[in-house]
A and B are shown apart, each in its own frame.
Chain A
Amino acid sequence: EPEVTQTPSHQVTQMGQEVILRCVPISNHLYFYWYRQILGQKVEFLVSFYNNEISEKSEIFDDQFSVERPDGSNFTLKIRSTKLEDSAMYFCATLSGDGGSPLHFGNGTRLTVT
């Protein structure tokens, strides 16, 4: 079964540094999402992306964050000037387009900011 692939699985960075989290969506999926889960807590929506544009974003997704699909395959989340509170699991998810279809999640990138 096709999978959403996320790299790296774990990233450690120093406060103030920039990180880029990468996702390879399922090939025929049209809608892409980023979610964040602080350890043991709820899964929080960050942003959705369709047709090379942001469709929807949450209040968490401020100027520190950006997304792009630079080469037609990878879907990236950039976090500028990381803070300690950015430490979390970041999930990429994709959707085929059919309204009743579930989001397919990658295995996540655990980001640790020290």
Chain B
Amino acid sequence: AQKITQTQPGMFVQEKEAVTLDCTYDTSDPSYGLFWYKQPSSGEMIFLIYQGSYDQQNATEGRYSLNFQKARKSANLVISASQLGDSAMYFCAMREGLNQAGTALIFGKGTTLSVSS
């Protein structure tokens, strides 16, 4: 079974609009972390935002926020006021067993975001 599911292969948004990228996850581990990474066409992996399973508040980092709904096992990324430079592939990822050493970060298949002017 997929641990991380991103159901939107591609999303299109206009500049200055907000966009939500969906992510659902599957785990029975009570201690886990959810991460979003951005991969522009140049290929590097850029960390955006993190949400821990025990965090009470939704994470925010500038224009990025994470809509964490634990009961539904979803961790959607919200980008406010989209910019042309936001056009990239976005990956949702999860690490289980945060109190253990070296556990794997498992990625979803990604969503390609295209921002137009």
Contacts and interface: CB of A to CB of B under 8 A. Distances in A.
Nearest to B106: A45
Interface string B79-104: 00000000000010101001101111
A91 B37 CA distance: 14
Interface residues of B, number: 25
Interface of A: 30-31, 33, 41-45, 48-51, 55-56, 58, 89, 91, 93, 95, 97, 99-100, 102-105, 107-108, 110
14 contacts: A30-B101, A31-B102, A33-B104, A41-B109, A42-B91, A42-B109, A43-B45, A44-B107, A48-B102, A51-B101, A56-B103, A104-B47, A105-B37, A110-B43
Interface of B: 31, 33, 35, 37, 43-45, 47, 50, 52, 91, 93, 95, 98-99, 101-110
